[in-house]
Amino acid sequence: MDQKQKNRKTARRLVLVAVGMFGFGFALWPLYNVFCQVTGLGGRAIEIAENSDQAVASQRVVSIRFDATVNSSLPWVFQAKEKVSEYNLGVPSKALYLAMNPSNEAMTGQATYNITPPEASLYFVKTECFCFTEQILQAGESREMPVYFYIKSDLPEYIKDITLSYTFYRQGYQLTDSMVNH
């Protein structure tokens, strides 16, 4: 077998390995979604029971810390109006975030959220949130962004503090070579 045939055989094997890796990664996507739902990673959570979505008021109080960050590609100012607050379980509540676009152009952002500890995401129900849709802020515009939520009254006793963390990312944004090289 000459060198040319060996190279072709190696190239075929590499192509098969690449196709196999792509197929394997593609096949794992549903498993990744299940993993995120079970662990609450990325703010994804499953419902514990079919009718457990209804708020049932409780005297128990938990402390919620509100975090706000912005990805470096989006020059917005973003912060929670209150950093920490206490809430009764099962009581519909509201928290406010403030966003400002200090730039000279309109920009679109999308927020992602995370809840810690991860087990708390199974009990944290957002009924309305700015993170559900893209947000457009005009040049110099400021806006209050509310999140409406409640915490299910069957939250485990050992969870006394919850952190609701949002990160805004720029949408429709392309990296340039000068940004990649810095």
Q: In angstroms, rounded to a whole number, what is the distance separating the alpha carbons of residues 154 and 173?
A: 42
Return per-residue pLDDT of the chain as tens, 182 residues: 788 888 888 889 888 888 877 777 767 766 666 666 555 555 444 444 444 455 667 789 999 999 999 999 999 999 999 999 999 999 999 999 999 999 999 999 999 999 999 999 999 999 999 999 999 999 999 999 999 999 999 999 999 999 999 999 998 754 444 444 44
In the sheet with 77-80, reading across from the earlier edge strand, the strands are 77-80, 93-100, 142-151, 124-129
Output the pTM of the full model: 0.64
149: tokens are: 């939520």
**3-state DSSP assignment of residue 79:** strand
**What is the CATH T-level fold of the domain 49-170, as seen in this structure?**
Ctag/Cox11 (Pfam 04442) (2.60.370)
